[in-house]
Structure 1
């Protein structure tokens, strides 16, 4: 007799009351007749196509930009390139763990709950580092334009390294605290499940309260970063509008502001979508199937788009970096990678 695959986390009580056959899970080692091979969700494979395309662009461009920044002593000593390098590293880490989660959810691969939480912690930390670093890049631009004489004193290389260290500490502590707190409520962290979703606890009331707190803090964090970015962009516009750089319809300043604004929105919007998805599922507004589709769309498409666009936007808009990339692929200037254009 074939037995359907069941998510034991949410369906066990109903099955115990209605089942007419012996119940076993993939955690049972006594009954080896139960087939615990993963159940693929073929409909979700479509989301892996754009994810693969964005991953290829990211894997080709990010290491190249990192290599250029690290090998060029002039770029390596500039604050904005230190921040850009941190974004590239964060995106690569995010790409690795997000791809693992998306693939496992698509093929229905069973994994221990503690492994799922670990993957989510690394993904969440990398995402938070990206958002904070991008916010810091806007602040860096503001200080460079508004306080050019004090720029190196305010944002020295040693100070920016401490800022980056603080960003990674904060980005790691918040998801790690959620992980440890959730495990204190969990009596079986080694239980195997066929999906890996952030803050998925079924009908546990204590953990659902934790879901509300985490979503509220995440939205407050995104709101704070968004307000800071908008504020500094408005200040930059008011300070520079008299210089004439905004007069032309397709001026470099307008194009740069538009591209950066779109990129920043693409970084922040996915977290808002994720929070809405989690809260809708918590309040029984959507089922697990709808959440799987929303999660696949968000993780494989929306979250991957800024990872593919970031190296293209900054690689083409930063003149020194674009010049170095051009020299790198020029047969006649291959020996002048470290020189200016």
Structure 2
């Protein structure tokens, strides 16, 4: 990177936020505090209560850790740039944020896919659940959910690290690989093609796993009584909402990054660009904290010092 002529980039999206930057700084700060508090609380409650250390809850903990990772990759830098006069980010800072945000998004989907598999086993093979979802298998699934996206994206990201940059403008609140590559001095069509191939490797296995899990769950539910159907599907609601949030956020990010949206209000563009991190990071701990009875009771007991035992 020593031969690069450009060592910092101007984040042009901050220009439209200049008049209300103190209000927006406060909002982002409150959101960051909320993300840290809600996700740390969820992790703490599950860790503290041995009866909550079930496979699904361990996956929820990893999802919470990833929310903190994504929020930390985005919001502190966003708040710093809001208060900056030039709204510039260094090349190293930009590259770090790109790797962090892209791996956050991929890890999120990997964990959600694994959680879908967990629901499939719990509903389709309830008597063998703890045998199938053994400690060893859970650890392997968690390790795969973190390592696979980090290594696959790193393989592709090395191409970006070798580029020399001549442009110095990124038209977003945060750095993304597609926007950075557009500033390269050389032709980057091969990187864009490899980017699509990498995206296929990063997303296709998870899509297959989620679809497989829910097709099998629906097949089993058809043969159950109505009460059993409601109970089975109720356990899937938080996960389905998380999947929907992830899909909407990813769709918004891809649409506003890849397509011309010059007629869209800048405020809408800003919201679309941060949806994929902010909304899941806030709603997921609420979904699983409130939606899961055992966790909800444990949180209630933590704050109100109740002594009754958390139900299994």
Where on the TM-score scale, by shorter chain, does this alignment land: which range? 0.7 to 0.9
SS of structure 2 residue aligned to 1:274: helix
2:304 paired residue number:
330
Preserved contact between residue 32 and residue 71 of structure 2 (Cα < 8 Å): yes
**Aligned counterpart for 2:56 among listed residues 76, 80, 88:** 80
Aligned with residue 268 of structure 1, among 223, 227, 247: 247
Please tell me the root mean square deviation across aligned C-alpha atoms, in Å.
3.7
Q: Which residue of 2 aligns with 1:96?
A: 72
Aligned to 1:22: none
CA distance in 1, matches of 2:132, 2:69: 29
What do the CA deviations read for 1:11-57 (whole angstroms, capped 9, x no partner)? x9xxxxxxxxxxxx888xxxxxxxx9x99524375776765554343
Q: How does 1:243-262 map to 2 (within 5 A)?
A: 243-245=224-226, 257-262=236-241
Task: Specify the alignment match of 2:277 in structure 1.
Answer: 303
> What residue in structure 1 maps to residue 294 of structure 2?
320
Q: 1:113 to 1:168 in 2, by over 3 A?
A: same
Distance 1:166 1:135, change over 3 A: same
- Give the Cα separation in 2 of the matches to 1:81 and 1:153: 17
1:231 aligns with 2:207: no
Q: CA deviation at 1:245?
A: 3.7
Do residues 207 (structure 1) and 188 (structure 2) align?
yes
Matched residue, 2:38: 61
Task: Give me the whole-angstrom Cα distance separating, in 1, the residues matched to 2:107 and 2:183.
Answer: 31
Distance 2:266 2:189 in 1: 18
Residue 185 of structure 1 contacts residue 207 of structure 1 at CA under 8 Å; is this kept in 2? no
State the TM-score, normalized to the length of structure 1: 0.72
1:298-319 deviation digits (Å, cap 9, x = unpaired): 3433431111111111112222
User: Among residues 127, 136, 143, which one is paired with 2:105 in the alignment?
Assistant: 127
| 1:68/1:324 contact within 8 Å kept | yes
Alignment of 1:7-156 (within 5 A): 41-43=15-17, 45=21, 51-52=28-29, 54-76=31-53, 78-104=54-80, 106=82, 107=84, 108-156=86-134
Output the CA distance in 2 between the equivalents of 1:294 and 1:181: 32
Deviation, structure 1 residue 327: 1.5
Contact 1:47 1:301 in 2 (8 A): no
Alignment-derived partner of residue 175 in structure 2: 197
Residue 340 in 1 paired to residue 300 in 2? no
**Shift, 1:151, TM fit:** 2.2
CA distance in 2, matches of 1:293, 1:179: 30
Distance 1:51 1:291, change over 3 A: same
Contact 2:113 2:209 in 1 (8 A): yes
Distance 1:69 1:257, change over 3 A: closer
Paired residues, number: 297
- Paired residues of 1:128 and 1:171 also in contact (CA < 8 A): yes
Does the CA-based 8 Å contact 1:111-1:193 persist in structure 2?
no
Between 202-211 and 146-155, report the one with greater CA deviation: 202-211
Distance 1:81 1:58, change over 3 A: same
- Report the structure number with the largest CA radius of gyration: 1
Residues 245 and 104 of structure 1: CA distance in aligned 2, closer, same or farther (over 3 Å): farther
Q: Secondary structure at the match of 2:187?
A: helix
CA distance in 2, matches of 1:124, 1:312: 24
Establish whether residue 179 from structure 1 lines up as the match of residue 157 from structure 2: yes
58-67 or 107-116, larger mean C-alpha shift: 107-116
CA contact (8 A) 1:212 1:279 kept: no
What's the secondary structure of 1:206's corresponding residue?
A: coil
- Judging changes above 3 Å, is the alpha-carbon distance between structure 1 residues 310 and 317 closer, same or farther for their aligned structure 2 residues? same
